[in-house]
Chains A and B, each alone.
Chain A
Amino acid sequence: MSNKVLAKGLAGALAASVALVPLMASAGELVIESWRNDDIDIWNDKIIPAFNKEHPDIKVSFKPTPPTEYNASVNAKLAGGTAGDLITCRPFDASLELYKQGNLAPLDDLKGMDNFSDVAKSAWQTDDGSVTFCLPMASVIHGFIYNKEAFEEVGVEVPKTREEFYAALDKIKEEGSYIPMAMGTADQWEAATMGFQNIGPNYWNGEAGRKALIDGSAKFTDAPYVDTFKELASWKNYLPDGYEAISYPDAQNLFSLGRAAVYPAGSWDISLFNNQADFEFGAFPPPPAAGADTCYISDHTDIALGLNAGSKNAAEAKLFLEWMTGSEFAELYSNALPGFFSLSNHKVAVTDPVASEFVSWRQKCESTIRNSYQILSRGTPNLENDLWNLSAQVINGTLTPTDAAGAAEAGLAKWYAPHQ
């Protein structure tokens, strides 16, 4: 008896879901595929209503998939012809592969594309830069977040140069009531991402150095890279005891509990600290050497939106993308998600004080992206994975800076022709 009830229930549910499918994908409705399921409220309550003020007749729905399943699911949907009209793009190779398979439409002639700089577009272009296939949405910026109260208590100023930075750290260490720098190497990626890629651009002159690595005119064994590793090696003096076993959440907690003075940060950390830290905190860019006339920051391209080449609503989808190139979207997005910054050239008023400090560096400093992301992480051994391992080892003191640089270069030389 209960089986029958169950069977009827199942059949009913099945019928209902079958009946719903045509409703959900009615013609003229734009579907956005994304891995940002954290952002669903922001899209539904802010971004889509703002778009509908201008285009009330275009229905848009935001359909996120969990981040870990996104790549596999979007590939399968594109292959099966059931993917949404707009596809959120991962940076570099994952999206490039989709374009090469003919799943993403070229967007070069999209109106408003010239609101984006070449660096912003570089993550979603063919290797020769001739075709752009996704509209850049947001980047994350690296720098250092500091505890303002700790700085006042110890009596140090916000450092402007590398020398001042380490003098400040030394002073905090000597004073003793704060851990100078909150980071660990247990998860490895912080050492590379918040360490190597954060302070490095000041040594290799941002884009110039990054491009030189790609065309083979610079090598990891050159002075800028060895010096970056050398500076990184000095960090171990300022990290908490047992940093080898301190994970990323440990480091975040050390800082947000007020036990550390400086935190090597990605701008995405801002919202967590806003929620958890009960002291005032600020931010400063990676300090360049004294006398350097330019500073460089890692302004890493992270997320973009592309057009499904098989979309039946391509015209409407293009209207949406065009709207996204405007200043209204840039402002909405940057303020809804402090720490994710619109990649457009519009002057955006960011209301969060720390986030607006981060984004102000774009005016003072030159932007670049992480040097391992474009082309160089295509082979085996994988450069990005190598840099995680090597940076962590340099900080742990199990590898010298020179050996680490040599190992990174040797890995690249194994498969990348310009380095052979």
Chain B
Amino acid sequence: MAHSGPMTDWRKAKLPVIAFLAPATVIYTLFMIYPLLDSIRLSFYATPSGGDTAFVGLDNYRTILADPDWSATFWNSFWNNMKFFAVHMLIQNPIGIALAGILSLPQLRFRNTYRTMMIMPTMLSVVIVGFIWQLILSPVWGVGADLLDIVGLKSLFGPWLGKEGSALITLSFISVWQWVGIPLMLIYAALLAIPDDLVDAAIVDGATHFEVFIHIKLPLVLPTVAMVSILTFVGNFNAFDLIYAVKGALAGPNFSTDIMGTLFYRTFFGYQLQLGNPHLGATVASLMFLIILAGVLFYLFAIQRRLARYQL
């Protein structure tokens, strides 16, 4: 214990530093990096029926991207994924920001109650959320039609989860309902960190609360908004559970709710009579990884560097 203390130099501290970093590094490498690299390796191999597994280079990628059967399915799931992401960006995050802004108003009462209620859905299991919303929207038992009837809009009700045109959007809204608590909490925390004197000064200068929010608070939390966006992007392109819970791995009707996660599942594990193909599945997974990587790099280089940060 004689060596510990503020005066210890780097050479003496080396051992403890390594000792403290090692568990995380080893576990992360073993459970995250190694499987990732190994699944990329898997995507370069193929097992022809009755033959042995052999290295095929980029053949699997060619199949997924160029073979008309696979590429149509792949791009369909990609665009569905983009729509899924767009709904989250355009609806979930603005609502999250707005709710956080309202929650941080100084004269708001029952603040904690609202906050708890808004974060609630996030804590539910996806399977339960899927089940509850299927029940609410069910044309047979659902309260959805009755609720619309109260406001006189029953004619607008339809089997939204079963129609090609509306199934994906409906599922996106369900997902938004569940996850809106995350941007809300992150942005709310960032808003709380803004010193009161900035807001007070603006109020003294005659700004309304709305103006304070737009001109003072929002620019200050913009880095958090950017971080929320990238989390949304990664989360959406990895999404699978809600679609699988509500629509199954065949993501009907007519693959209108098929996203890359469900396509990966069908390809890797197989479905009903379709036998699984681990190599093509790993190829889909690697493509998902590349798409997410491209998005994150775009964010790092094109957006994050340009964000103005203020020392508060």
Contact = CB atoms under 8 A, between A and B. Distances in A.
Interface of A: 92-94, 97, 100, 184-189, 240-247, 250, 253-254, 372-373, 377, 380-385, 388-389, 392-393, 396, 398-399, 414
Central interface residue in A186, A377, A380, by most chain B CB within 10 Å: A186
Nearest to B140: A250
Given A185-B253, A188-B253, A246 B138 contact: yes
Nearest to B275: A93
Contacts of B248: 187-188
B254 A244 contact: no
B254 A92 contact: no
A250 to B, nearest CB: 6
Contact of A244 (B162, B250, B272): B162
- The 8 A-B residue pairs whose C-beta atoms are closest, nearest first, are A242-B139, A244-B162, A245-B162, A245-B159, A242-B159, A377-B273, A382-B274, A384-B273
Given A186-B162, A188-B248, 5 more contacts: A93-B273, A93-B275, A382-B274, A383-B273, A388-B250
Contacts of A414: 69
Contacts of A373: 273
B274 A385 contact: yes
Contacts of B252: 185-186, 188, 388-389, 392
B162 A398 contact: no
B173 interface: no
A385 B162 contact: no
A242 B69 contact: no
Contacts of A381: 69
Interface in B243-265: 247-248, 250, 252-255
Contacts of A254: 140
B55 interface: no
Contacts of A247: 134
B141 interface: yes
A92 B247 CA distance: 26
Contact of B254 (A100, A377, A389): A389
Contacts of A100: 50
B70 interface: yes
Contacts of A398: 164, 253-254
6 contacts: A188-B253, A240-B140, A245-B162, A246-B140, A250-B138, A382-B272
A92 B70 CA distance: 25
B161 A94 contact: no
Nearest to A381: B69
B250 A385 contact: yes
B275 A385 contact: no
Central interface residue in B139, B254, B273, by most chain A CB within 10 Å: B273
Interface residues of B, number: 28
A372 B273 contact: yes
A313 B275 CA distance: 31
Contact of A384 (B134, B159, B247, B272): B272
Contacts of B250: 188, 385, 388-389
Given A250-B141, A414-B69, A243 B273 contact: no
A245 B138 contact: yes
Nearest to A414: B69
B164 A243 contact: no
Contacts of A246: 138-140, 159, 162
A323 B271 CA distance: 34
Chain B interface helix/strand/loop/mixed: loop
Central interface residue in B70, B140, B163, by most chain A CB within 10 Å: B140
B253 A396 contact: yes
Contacts of A383: 273
Contacts of B61: none
Central interface residue in A245, A246, A377, by most chain B CB within 10 Å: A245
Interface string B147-189: 0000000000011111110000000000000000000000000
B191 interface: no
A242 B274 contact: no
A186 B160 CA distance: 11
A384 B249 CA distance: 14
B253 A377 contact: no
B98 to A, nearest CB: 31
Contacts of A189: 272
Nearest to A383: B273
Nearest to B158: A242
B137 interface: yes
A249 to B, nearest CB: 10
A87 B70 CA distance: 35
B253 A244 contact: yes
A185 B254 CA distance: 11
Interface string B106-140: 00000000000000000000000000001001111
Interface in B209-261: 247-248, 250, 252-255
A233 B79 CA distance: 30
Contact of B272 (A184, A250, A385, A396): A385
Central interface residue in A97, A242, A381, A392, by most chain B CB within 10 Å: A242
A399 B137 CA distance: 25
A352 to B, nearest CB: 28
Contacts of B274: 377, 380, 382, 384-385
A243 to B, nearest CB: 7
A100 B250 CA distance: 29
B39 to A, nearest CB: 17
A385 B273 contact: yes
Given A242-B140, A247-B134, A398-B164, A92 B273 contact: yes
Nearest to A370: B273
Given A246-B140, A398-B254, A186 B273 contact: no
Contacts of B138: 242, 245-246, 250
A388 B275 CA distance: 16
Contact of A185 (B134, B162, B275): B162
Nearest to A384: B273
Interface in B272-293: 272-275
A184 B162 contact: yes
Contacts of A242: 138-140, 158-159, 162
Contacts of B140: 240, 242, 246, 250, 253-254
